[in-house]
Amino acid sequence: MLSVAFRRQSPPYLRRILCFELFSTATSIGPSNKSDLIRPDPPPIRISQTSSAGRGVFATRPITAGETIHSAKPLVTHPSLSLLYEVCYYCLRRKEGKHGVGPGLYYFCSDSCREKSMAFLEVESRGDWSMLNEHCRNRGLKYPLMVKRLACMVMCGAVSSDCLDILQPALLHKEMLPEMEDEFKLLKNAFKKVNIADEVMAFLSKEWYINVLARIKINAFRIELPCGSYEDLLASAVALIGDDAAVGNAVYIVPSFYNHDCDPNTHIVWVDSSDAKVKALRDIEEGEELRICYIDVSMDTEARQKILSEGFGFRCNCPRCLSGE
């Protein structure tokens, strides 16, 4: 087991985030009497410093194999460009059959998803995103689209411009900057052409763009959802040819604190939307660090280290890698 150094309690800012992301859906029974609000048990985790991988997530009690440790809702999502009109524009749930949505119209799987999207869509739908989409499509990029959505969410007041600052950023190399600057110009120009007050756009600087992209790069999850129907299967086949099999990407706060292990004790599952469940793969002791895997761990040590180093910027120090397995 990893030797870990952790404080007894998560720092206050992390406790606030845990409360927001994990308990934002208290169950209400009966009329609007506050005493009727039932809060679920707090999840058995705390976020603390590890000895060698920055912050990590630790079990606060024994956890049984197969147990759902907690659920998490994304802060920001974006569908894959090839499935833009085939999955819910908010939660990425696959469209089942024909839902009467016209060509070129976004699909929402429920009134709730439509309502939650209303504010950022009001901003987003004013712009012409064809150049940014084309740029991303040609280069196979997904993250600039998430930055665009986040910018719209900031402009409509749904989130603050620093909402991702708590997450670890990717290390950026000088060679990456020209492409990021091009993307930023495409984004900024699209906003400039529409009627958005300067003060509402004040946060949208090149530094903000690069700062947010660096965090999304290292913390975004690629969401793959099983196909429901034959039509879904066909849509996925088209996506596979045109782009990739993922329905989209999403960034969460709490799941972003899970470190990687090539023999993980925990995994994240998606059933039918971007709502995530973190589950135990085996029995876990109180105080043990919970780790997921970021990559296909069936590869040999050298291949795993190469992908983790090139894609995530770190040398894996998990017991399996240290033993050269």
Ligand X SMILES: C[S@@+](CC[C@H](N)C(=O)[O-])C[C@H]1O[C@@H](n2cnc3c(N)ncnc32)[C@H](O)[C@@H]1O
Site for ligand X in 261-300 (CB under 6 A): 261
The nearer residue to ligand X, 63 or 321, going by C-beta atoms, is 321
316 scored as a contact of ligand X (CB under 6 A): yes
The nearer residue to ligand X, 122 or 325, going by C-beta atoms, is 325
The nearer residue to ligand X, 170 or 200, going by C-beta atoms, is 170
Which structure tokens are listed for 266?
């925990």
256 scored as a contact of ligand X (CB under 6 A): yes
Which of 203, 231, 314, 320 touches ligand X (CB under 6 A)?
A: 314
Quick one: which H or E segment has residue 291? Answer: strand 289-292
The closest alpha carbon to 159, from 212, 196, 107, belongs to 212
Neighbouring residues of 216: CB distance < 8 A, sequence distance ≥ 6 = 76, 143, 146, 147, 164, 251
User: x-or-dash pattern for ligand X, window 24-63, by CB under 6 A?
Assistant: -----------------------------xxxx-------
Q: How many residues bind ligand X (CB under 6 A)?
A: 18
Provide the sign of the torsion angle of the four alpha carbons 164, 169, 174, 179, taken in this order. Answer: negative
318 scored as a contact of ligand X (CB under 6 A): yes
Which structure tokens are listed for 258?
């899970």
Strand, coil or helix: 18: helix
Which of 218, 239, 254, 290 touches ligand X (CB under 6 A)?
A: 218
The distance between the two most distant Cα atoms of the chain, rounded to a whole number of Å, is 59
The nearer residue to ligand X, 88 or 218, going by C-beta atoms, is 218
Length of the chain: 325
Q: What is the CA radius of gyration of the chain?
A: 21
* Residues lying near ligand X in the complex (CB under 6 A): 53-56, 168, 218-219, 256-257, 259-261, 312-314, 316-318
